[in-house]
Amino acid sequence: MLGGEAANTAYALRSWGAEVVLASNGIGEDTEGDFLRTELASRGIEPIIDHLVRTTRTPVCEVFVDNAGQRTMIGFGFSDMESTVDPIRLPYRKGQWFTVEPNMVQAARSALLLAHKAGMRIYTMDMVKEGDPVPTGCYCQTSTDWAGVRGDTASNVAWLRRFVEKHDCFAILTDGANGFVAGSRDVRIQHYVPFQVDRPGVDSTGAGMSFEQGCCSDSI
């Protein structure tokens, strides 16, 4: 399937009528790379890549879901992945959304700072490591895969409060079937239960990305 986070976000926003620019990791000259290029083209998305990284295989992720709905993800090729995008060359447009995730580490951090300087609206995904920039007033989303404690609402509220106080942002911490906690200095930090549907869930893989995409969709 098409992935990962950035491609999924770009596709969702594109399908809702938004103009998108995707700055992706390298896509190799292999079966997986051919598949990704075809999938992106069929969705009207042309990734910005300054050069093809000719590795033995395109970085891919295998997702395994057990009978309880818990997932395990195993990535291949990411530790050797080179930065394929020059942050200076990206189109920064004042007032529009800039979403970013940390796979390309320093390139992602530099691009985020340039987008903020240009007056863009910032939405980060899993940018919670020491050294990740968090501009004042931005939106930050992560999950209990990276922060807080899975299934422990009190710990998640406490983590979010510390994060918000440190960075003065609006933060969201998702916790799978347990919903999410969210808030800022001006919006009371609290727990939100999942929306109830009249059919059983099949697989929550990608739900956090869909949540992120919906939050950015008011720019359309």
Mean pLDDT of 198-204: 73
What CATH number should be reported for the domain holding residue 55?
3.40.1190.20
pTM of structure: 0.82
Confidence of residue 1 (pLDDT cuts 50, 70, 90): confident
3-class SS at 30? coil
Residue 133 belongs to domain spanning? 5-219
Q: Which of 103, 145, 152 is nearest to 124 (CA)?
A: 103
DSSP 174-195: E-GGG-EEEE-SSS--EEEPPP
pLDDT at 52: 46
Confirm if 107 and 99 have CB atoms less than 8 A apart: no
Asked if 101 contacts 93 with a C-beta cutoff of 8 angstroms, the reply is no
Count of alpha carbons within 13 angstroms of residue 17, beta-carbon side? 4
Q: Please tell me the predicted confidence (pLDDT) of residue 219.
A: 42
Query: Which two three-digit tokens encode residue 93?
Result: 């447009």
State the DSSP H helix or E strand holding residue 63, giving kind and residue range, or none if neither. strand 60-65
| Least trusted range by pLDDT, from 81-85, 133-137, 166-170, 187-191 | 81-85
Cβ atoms within 10 Å, residue 3: 17
- 209, pLDDT greater than 80: no
36-65 per-position pLDDT tens digit: 889 999 998 988 875 544 555 788 888 888
| 63-111 per-position pLDDT tens digit | 888 887 777 888 887 776 667 778 988 999 999 999 998 888 888 999 9
Overall domain count for the chain: 1
Q: Is the pLDDT of residue 212 over 50?
A: yes
Task: Give the pLDDT mean for 167-182.
Answer: 93
Peptide bond into 33 cis (omega under 30): no
